[in-house]
Amino acid sequence: MSHKVLIANRGEIALRAIRACKELGIKTVAVYSQGDKNLKHLKFADETVCIGPASPLESYLNAPSILSAAEVTNTDAIYPGYGFLAEDFSFAEKCEESGFKFIGPNSETIKMMGDKITAKSIAEKAGIQVVPGYKDDLPDDPDKIHAIAKNVGYPLMIKATAGGGGRGMRLIESEDELLDGLEITMQEAMNAFGNKVVYFEKFISNPRHIEVQIVADGKGNVIHLGTRDCSIQRRHQKLIEEAPASNINPELLSNTLDACLKLCKDINYEGVGTLEFLYENNAFYFIEMNTRIQVEHPVSEMITGFDLVKAQLKIALGIPTTLDQSKISFRGHAIECRINAENPRTFTPSPGLITKMHPPGGFGIRFDSHIYSGYEVPPYYDSLLAKIITTANSRSSCIKRMMSALDEFFVEGIETNHSLHQELMHDDVFNQNNHTINYLENEFFKNYE
């Protein structure tokens, strides 16, 4: 049976999805906003449909418009990518009701795992250690709230159960900040996610961010593609990711991977997914599960040779695919640098015309990007321009290859964080793999001031 997939996203992930569809002989429909007429992948799609004005709310987040585009093009499935509607259970539900296959888990699973409190309970049932804290309903009585917080211990994090994208969390250092901080976080969560439920989590002071990539077919077959370390972050958002995560006790790692597989079997998971952990003092603490493809998926692909986007499509469309852990082997190391249109220190977005650019290339270098010379970066969306991914036998060779790739790469006309990646590749702490999630903002920037 021939398939047609509508790609409900933009930028590099839309291009990535079209490439995977082409390899599988699947027809594609690209949707775009009025601010995105010059996107590269529109040239490669079989059909294109404009879904609304540039504002994301009126286009890529506009479910009725996307569903109408699917209807008029006779699409059978919708690929959500990451961001926008990728973890919006009500969109997945609307797809189900309208007879379109949402490429990912079903709406119930998205809802369940998208609620961080529920996700933590499910993880605990699978034998996974979660960040200690308090996740029951908070009482109204301020004294009781203080007692709960004291029991969790300061410093603590107040986190929105519906939070995401580094938003909806607040560090509380002492009891004086608690009640105001609680009120503000609840208000922010209500505004951003339409859900003001929050929970307390112990602040893990100096961890690494480590995550596990999962692939499941919804029929009980679940595999993992090992770990990624995403500790180089700014404002709780990742900048550099690598696979595998290094220096982890092998027994602990093996138990954690088994528990991740168990969790996915317990909930009869379908599609790709990522379990995220903070790792400190030889312990993993689960923080959340993302029920979608992640920006950093290429590093796992490069060390396994397993195409995650093709797997997503095959699983969703019922194209035969084998998920067999014994067929997954791990080779070498991979690193990804996210090139963003932003100031490398202040992170202020820098949209505008790319007057000239040159992509890196060569052995062990992958460039996932939608940009080209003459492309105008619109101001309305995420600042991600390109992902440079290098693969080599060892971490140190991978870093050297990244230095060379970054030296070849240039973008003119707009500001990017290219130079920050170059500095990091030459940084001793990064090279020695001694960094944690706090390194970039708390130490690296200070050293370079």
Residues that bind ligand ADP (CB under 6 A): 131, 157, 163-167, 169, 201, 203-204, 209, 233, 236, 276, 278, 287-288, 437
| Minimum separation from the CB atom of position 399 to ligand ADP (A) | 22
- For the CA atoms of 174, 177, 179, 181, the dihedral, rounded to the nearest 10 degrees, stands at -120
Closest CA to 286 of 140, 426, 132, 403: 132
Catalytic residue among 10, 292, 366, 401: 292
Sign of CA dihedral 104, 110, 116, 122: negative
* Cα 104 → chain centroid: 14
Q: Residue 300's beta-bridge partner residues? A: none
SS3 122: helix
| Minimum separation from the CB atom of position 280 to ligand ADP (A) | 9
**Cβ closest to ligand ADP, residue 231 vs residue 391:** 231
**Cβ closest to ligand ADP, residue 87 vs residue 217:** 87
CB distance 76 to 67 below 8 Å = no
Who's near 255: CB < 8 A, 6+ residues apart?
Answer: none
- Annotation marks residue 19 as catalytic: no
**Cβ closest to ligand ADP, residue 111 vs residue 209:** 209
| Minimum separation from the CB atom of position 209 to ligand ADP (A) | 4
> Rounded to whole angstroms, how far apart are CA atoms 72 and 29?
11
Who's near 68: CB < 8 A, 6+ residues apart?
Answer: none
**Helices 107-114/89-98 angle, 10° precision:** 170
| Minimum separation from the CB atom of position 331 to ligand ADP (A) | 27
Q: Residue 160's beta-bridge partner residues? A: 198
| Minimum separation from the CB atom of position 326 to ligand ADP (A) | 31
**Cβ closest to ligand ADP, residue 188 vs residue 217:** 188
| Minimum separation from the CB atom of position 408 to ligand ADP (A) | 30
**Helices 418-425/395-408 angle, 10° precision:** 150
Who's near 412: CB < 8 A, 6+ residues apart?
Answer: 354, 355, 356, 357
Q: What share of the chain is helix, strand, coil (3-state, %, to 5)?
A: 35, 30, 35
**Cβ closest to ligand ADP, residue 144 vs residue 236:** 236
| Minimum separation from the CB atom of position 9 to ligand ADP (A) | 18
**Cβ closest to ligand ADP, residue 26 vs residue 437:** 437
Largest CA distance in the chain: 63
- First-to-last alpha carbon distance for the chain, in angstroms, is 59
SS3 112: helix
**Which of 277-315 are b and which e, b meaning 16 or more Cβ less than 10 Å from the residue's Cβ?**
bbbeeeebbbbbbbbbbbbbbbbbbbbbebbbbbbbbbb
**Cβ closest to ligand ADP, residue 272 vs residue 357:** 272
Q: Residue 278's beta-bridge partner residues? A: 209, 285
**Cβ closest to ligand ADP, residue 70 vs residue 156:** 156
| Minimum separation from the CB atom of position 195 to ligand ADP (A) | 13
> Rounded to whole angstroms, how far apart are CA atoms 416 and 344?
7
Question: Catalytic residues, which ones?
Answer: 292
